[in-house]
Amino acid sequence: MSLSAKGLSTDEIFQVELTVNGERREGAVEARKTLADFLREDLALTGTHLGCEHGVCGACTVLVDGEPARSCLMLAVQARGSAVLTIEGLAQKGELSSLQQSMWDNHSFQCGFCTPGFLMQITALLEQSPNPTEGEVREALSGNICRCTGYQSIVKGVMAAIASSNPKDVS
Amino acid sequence: MKPPAFAYRAPESLQEALSLLADHGDEAKVLAGGQSLIPLLSLRLARPTVLVDLARIPGMASISESDGWLVMGSMVREGHAERAPLVGRLAPLLSAALPFIGHPAIRSRGTVGGSLAHADPAAELPAVALATDAQLVATSAARGKRTLPAADFFRGFFETALETDEILTEIRLPPLSEGTGVCFQEVARRHGDFAMVGLAASVRLANGTIADAHLALTGVAPQPIRASEAELALIGASPTKAVFEEAGQLATRGLTPPSDLHGSSGYRTVVAQVLVRRALRVAALKAGADYEELDSGRGDLR
């Protein structure tokens, strides 16, 4: 059956309403527009970086309803009604989150391209499990690719953030 | 790396989704979690005219128990299943396999039904469905529901028994018999990659001998396969290293795994043999086999 006979069209425009970093945002997109492109092009939130655009590198990771998701593997229309958190939402009132600060202090970045994805992935991990082991951190980060650091400084920054938010018992 | 244009619908009822598929046949494609389909679109390896998104249909992501069976809607996210205590209790083999799928950000979107219907020859869940004798429920507007045993579901390279007007709506895993141990193992180049070879295994022991064994291999053929010859040979045998070694040989008899730059056919064959031996050992120990009797305790296993 032809598309038009069923009221379908490949260039139909869809209204997308969602919450991004706590703010209600909306836009009008073709169905084929990925969430990553919607965030970057329509909402001008260019902190979400696109590395591979097919779900391999993890740079575009954002949180959708609290869970990590690769925004290049999601269509903007799929995110209608969701709450999305991007790298722009981590710092509050100009103050870095404790994870961001710890990664800054530990030189966890070099070129910084992959950093937003790493930060979002670890933010998701720490929300689910606030005191993970280094093994769990490495496991959680295994889907994020960094071509500069060799990962050691990233893991160091994350472990330092975990240590500072889970002070040891001093009894 | 932008998907080609397509028409899109996110129906709020299964009937509506089924009627879209009935209208558009193989021009339409079902969108579940999208973790395989969206890259295929971006790479333009798939060019469906209509995408039917199942995410807004209520009730398709439920996990429940019925007479000891684990019953899952096909839209259950892999990450959700991974954390669901009911899945761990009723289907430990599924629980064991889920962490091997991609990465956390993939599993939080990817669905159990999507992985089965996509039928990647190296995917984990098809092997689990096969090893557990899962039942897969396919629904169409024209013919209603039909239940397919996993053994009839996987037909070839990315090919299943689903007709173009059907949706995989439910997955049912039977209860484990008393005395059963399970193990999932795989070898991949990098953590989170598709397996070069993977294995879903279960062993049931009765009075110290093997009463039943299920072995499903992934990555060695166009579709996941049961190692039936090895399974038959295991029944009645004692759980020993020599028996498991022999099972590995039998499991790969007649197989010609694919060769690619990650590993030759011969390499995959050896990996399959090793995985069979390892997984049987772990499953047998979980089923209560005597560690000392099984081997000296040394060897290549954790």
Interchain CB contacts (distance < 8 Å): A and B? 107
Residues of chain B with CATH 3.30.43.10: 7-53
Class of domain B7-53: alpha beta
Q: Report how far apart, in Å, the C-alpha atoms of B60 and of each of A168, B111, B154, B158 are.
A: 44, 11, 22, 23
pLDDT (tens digit per residue) in B70-108: 999 999 999 999 999 999 999 999 999 999 999 999 999
Q: Which fold has domain B63-173?
A: 3.30.465
In a mutagenesis test of the B interface, which of A2, A14, A73 is the best target, namely the one with the most B β-carbons within 10 Å? Answer: A73
Residue A63 sits in the same domain as residue A105 = no
Of A74, A81, A75, the closest CA to residue A17 belongs to A81
Neighboring chain B residues of A60 at a CB cutoff of 8 Å: none
Is any Cβ of chain A less than 8 angstroms from the Cβ of B16?
no
Residue where a domain stops, chosen among A61, A89, A117: A89
Number of domains in chain A: 2
Q: Is residue A126 part of a domain?
A: yes
CA nearest A144 in B: which residue? B103
- Where does B119-225 have alpha helices with state H? 124-131, 150-153
Q: What is the mean pLDDT of residues A20-39?
A: 98
Residue A48 phi, psi (nearest 5): -75, 115
Residue A123 sits in the same domain as residue A103 = yes
Contact (CB<8Å) B39/A55: yes
Neighboring chain B residues of A80 at a CB cutoff of 8 Å: 10
Q: What is the mean pLDDT of residues A146-154?
A: 96
Neighboring chain A residues of B53 at a CB cutoff of 8 Å: 77-78
Answer yes or no: pTM beyond 0.90. yes
Of B187, B225, B36, the closest CA to residue B100 belongs to B187
pLDDT: is A6 or B110 the higher one?
B110
Q: Is residue A67 part of a domain?
A: yes
Is any Cβ of chain B less than 8 angstroms from the Cβ of A72?
yes
Q: Is residue A55 part of a domain?
A: yes
Min Cα–Cα distance to chain A from B208, Å? 37
Query: Phi/psi zone of residue B264: left (φ > 0), alpha (ψ -120 to 50 degrees), beta?
Result: beta
Min Cα–Cα distance to chain B from A170, Å? 33
Is any Cβ of chain B less than 8 angstroms from the Cβ of A146?
no
Residue A18 sits in the same domain as residue A85 = yes
pLDDT (tens digit per residue) in A89-134: 999 999 999 999 999 999 999 999 999 999 999 999 999 999 999 9
CATH number of domain containing A117:
1.10.150.120
Give me the residue from B8, B24, B35 closest to A55, CB to CB: B35
CB contacts under 8 A, A 26-65 vs B, are 30-32, 34, 37, 52-55, 58, 61, 64
Question: Where in the sequence is the domain holding A80, given as residue range(s)?
Answer: 13-89
Residue A148 sits in the same domain as residue A116 = yes
Tokens linked to A6: 């069923």
Is any Cβ of chain A less than 8 angstroms from the Cβ of B156?
no
Q: Do residues A9 and B55 lie in contact, with contact meaning Cβ atoms separated by under 8 Å? A: no
The number of angstroms, rounded, from the C-alpha of B175 to the middle of its chain's C-alpha atoms is 17
List of chain B residues with pLDDT < 70:
295-302
- Per-residue DSSP letter, B175: P
Q: What is the mean pLDDT of residues A128-150?
A: 95
Residues of chain B with CATH 3.30.390.50: 181-294
CATH number of domain containing A83:
3.10.20.30
Min Cα–Cα distance to chain B from A93, Å? 28
Residue B49 phi, psi (nearest 5): -85, -35
A80: amino acid identity, one letter? R
In the CATH scheme, what is the code of domain B181-294? 3.30.390.50
Give me the residue from A31, A70, A139 closest to B105, CB to CB: A70
CA nearest B24 in A: which residue? A1
Residues of chain B with CATH 3.30.465.10: 63-173
Strands (E), chain B: 7-9, 28-31, 50-53, 63-66, 69-73, 135-140, 144-149, 154-156, 159-160, 166-173, 180-187, 197-206, 209-218, 225-226
Is any Cβ of chain B less than 8 angstroms from the Cβ of A125?
yes
Is any Cβ of chain A less than 8 angstroms from the Cβ of B47?
no
In a mutagenesis test of the A interface, which of B37, B41, B103, B106 is the best target, namely the one with the most A β-carbons within 10 Å? Answer: B103
Of B296, B252, B297, B255, the closest CA to residue B276 belongs to B252
Residue A80 sits in the same domain as residue A112 = no
Is any Cβ of chain A less than 8 angstroms from the Cβ of B191?
yes
